[in-house]
Chain A
Amino acid sequence: MKINRRTLLSLIGVSPAVLAGSPAKADQSKKKSAQKSGEAKIETLNPKGLPPPIQLIPMAPRLSSLDGKTIFLVSDGFAGADRFLNQIAIWFQKNMPNVKTVYRLKAGSYFDDDPKLTAEMKASGNAMIMAYGH
């Protein structure tokens, strides 16, 4: 299946114009130029390189309920994420005591995979909450 990236970005609420060459804006300028007569037009080249194709990944099936489930609370390593996830653990203890939470700090940089942690979560967890940036 092929989906135009413009359609995809519209789905997430981001203007396609900011991500690549924007034919929409080019069209507007062309209309503007059409109002002017006698100015020579020239042809110029698009300077963009080649972004990689995007493989859509189906999201994991959701749980019917969190009751009795184990949720991994995973920090990406930014300052304070550990404290914030601890507050989430406290929230579950107070409000949904049947939910078990397990805190983990992801190994590596914020964009690195952590295969060991992934294997652990798949083996003993039901869901993940990850936080958070700055």
Chain B
Amino acid sequence: MGLPTAPLVTIAFKDLAKTNAANRGMPGERICFLPHPMTNKTDEEMYKVLEGNDPVTNKPLMPEIIAALTVPLTAEEQKSGTVTPDIGPATYVDTQENLQRIYLDNNMTDFMPIILPTEEKVQAMLKGTSHKPDEVIGTLSAARGAQPSWSFTVRHVAINAVMAGAQPEYLPVILAIASTAQPALFSSTSSFSRMLLLNGPISDQIKMNYGIGAMGPFAEPNAVIGRAWTILSKNLGGCGMPGLSYMGTLGSNFNYNNICIAETENKLPDGWKPFHVQKGFKPDDSVVSVFSGWSLNNVAWFPNMPYHELIKNWLTHFFSFGTSAATLLLDPTVAREAKQKGYNSKEELSDYWSKESKTPAWLYWDTHKNELKQAQAGVEPYASYLKMGDGEIPFQRFYRRGRPGAPPDPNPKSSVEIIVLGGETNTYWAGGDFSYVTSASIDKWR
């Protein structure tokens, strides 16, 4: 940019900020640090921070900021050139016990034992695809734009698939997941979770479980494919390094397996399309779809009202980090009841939920501060909303909306996705804040 700069960062992000500066070519960037967190401080408290010390250097903060802008550059700070990243040796040679420790200590696993990736096992894995080992698949980043994008080949994915315990017939699925450029471990303080949905002939071909316990540890491909995504995200995208490329404060247990599921397509009500067909693929295509969110509720509730009404009420009151998208996972028994109540497609049911669900008053006002000011000034309909007290505001939050400032869409689409799966042992359903990200062809990678 050409201007002397003093970046200010809170101390919780010290390693991240320094590493990012180095990755972007300025290892000596003069970052000044603040206490953490700053967000909730009053103006007076913020001013006291300025009069205090940098918590890293323990030197007075404002003189340090001024020095960052005025002290002449050192020779190191004026260097140009190229730095070659060090990713370690091409191979490791040791006993199996020690090799397990090497992979674990170097953050190359999910901290559970792995299958050691020998050349022999990787060659066997590569038989699962017709693609050449040196074909470059794409790039992967812990946060595209903010973190470096690593590149990788079919062979790289095969090595990671071996480590996760995959069979060669799973490799096209894992390659398709890698081709989406979506990391399982996204760098955010919010601890993202991910979900993988398989549709099409592949589910039966590799024996995915979509019956009893469809979301549990009851089948090899469900377990291994989801695990492979986390391991490859670490090794092929530099993801999952706490404090450097992973900042989720609580973390997510879902990241061990990324909710790797398949839809129970043979139990869909008549007229209900499999998820991949909803997204434009053919029924005979094998497809993996990626979702992103944070949490799921597994609901056991036997209401006097129909399930679709119960779920509408749940949507009204559900909130988490995300408040405008939801995915419902319905046992086939729940889906069939909705069909009997007149919902002839997933789209009809999704539209009903988006149209009829509302928003609790406290949540509406907490997420619509400008509207609150207008309500207090008597502007309608917000003034009427305010008169509703603690009730439900008729604001439909489960619609896809454009970026702030974009003109309103006259025909907004529902942001509620529906997946049918499970073993029909009871009328259960799960719902959460997951939103659809993308789908990729598995057939392309066979």
Q: Which residues of A contact B (CB under 8 A)?
A: 1-6, 8-9, 11-14, 16-23, 25-26, 29-30, 32-33, 36, 39-66, 71-72, 78-81, 83-84, 86-88, 90-91, 95, 109-112, 118, 121-122, 125-134
Residues of A within 8 A of B212 (CB): none
In the assembly, what is the distance between CA of A95 and CA of B425, in Å?
A: 72
Q: Which of B104-112, B271-279, B293-301, B345-353 contacts A (4 or more CB under 8 A)?
A: B104-112
Task: Check if B89 is an interface residue, CB within 8 A of chain A.
Answer: yes
Q: A29 contacts B25, CB within 8 Å?
A: no
Among B36, B91, B96, B151, contact of A49 (Cβ-Cβ < 8 Å): B151
Q: A48-B235, A56-B82, A91-B50 are in contact. Are A132 and B4 (CB under 8 A)?
A: no
- Shortest B374–chain A CB gap in Å is 21
Q: Which of B40, B65, B70, B116 contacts A62 (CB under 8 A)?
A: B70
Which residues from chain B contact A90 at a C-beta distance below 8 Å? 47
Given known A-B contacts A42-B93, A45-B90, A46-B90, A130 and B98 have beta carbons under 8 A apart = no
Say how far B134's CB is from chain A's closest CB, in angstroms. Answer: 12
What is the CB-to-nearest-CB distance from A112 to chain B, in angstroms, rounded to a whole number? 7
Can you name the residue of chain B whose Cβ is closest to the Cβ of A109?
B145
Q: Is the CB of B244 within 8 A of A127?
A: no
Most buried by A among B21, B27, B146, B160: B27
Given A45-B117, A60-B2 in contact, is the A132-B108 Cβ separation under 8 Å?
Answer: no
A2 with B89: CB separation less than 8 A: no
B29 within 8 A of A: yes
A54 near B22: Cβ-Cβ < 8 Å: yes
Judge whether B38 and A84 touch: CB under 8 Å: yes
Residues in chain B near residue A20, CB distance under 8 A? 85-88, 238
CA distance A89 to B101 in the complex (A): 52
Q: Is B43 within 8 A of A45, CB to CB?
A: no
- A4 to B236, alpha carbons, bound, how many Å? 20
For this complex, 25 residue pairs linking A to B, each with C-beta atoms less than 8 Å apart, are A2-B83, A11-B76, A12-B19, A20-B85, A25-B106, A30-B93, A42-B94, A47-B103, A47-B108, A48-B87, A49-B140, A49-B151, A50-B87, A51-B238, A52-B151, A54-B24, A57-B25, A60-B3, A62-B72, A63-B69, A81-B38, A87-B47, A127-B69, A128-B5, A129-B5
Complex contact A132–B10 (CB within 8 A): yes
Distance, CA A129 to CA B99, complexed state (A): 47
B152 within 8 A of A: yes
- State the CA gap A80–B38 with chains docked (Å): 7
Given A56-B25, A87-B46, A127-B4, residue A29 in contact with residue B93 (CB < 8 A): no
CB neighbours (8 Å) of B160 from chain A are 47
Asked if residues B66 and A5 are in contact (CB atoms below 8 Å), the reply is no
B12 shortest CB reach to chain A, Å? 7
Residues of A within 8 A of B97 (CB): 33, 39
Given A87-B50, A125-B3: A46 in contact with B87 (beta carbons within 8 A): yes
The answer to whether A48 and B47 touch (CB under 8 A), given A23-B88, A129-B65, is: no
Known: A56-B82, A59-B78. A44 touches B117 (CB 8 A): yes
Q: Are B38 and A132 in contact (CB under 8 A)?
A: yes
Contacts of A32 in B (CB 8 A): 98
Q: Are B39 and A79 touching (Cβ within 8 A)?
A: yes
* Set of chain A residues within 8 Å of B82, measured between Cβ atoms: 1-2, 53-56
Q: Which of A47, A55, A83, A128 contacts B43 (CB 8 A)?
A: A83
**CB nearest to A50 among chain B residues:** B151
Chain A residues, Cβ within 8 Å of B84: 2-5, 53
- B118 near A42: Cβ-Cβ < 8 Å: yes
* Contact yes or no, A41 B26, CB < 8 A: no
CA distance A90 to B198 in the complex (A): 57
Contact among A23, A80, A122 for B41, CB-based, below 8 A: A80
B431 on the A face (CB < 8 A): no
Please, how many angstroms separate the alpha-carbon atoms of A84 and B152 in the complex? 42
A4 to chain B, nearest CB (A): 6
CA distance in complex: A96, B27 (Å): 30
B25 touches A19 (CB 8 A): no
> Which residues from B are CB-within-8-Å of A23?
86, 88-89
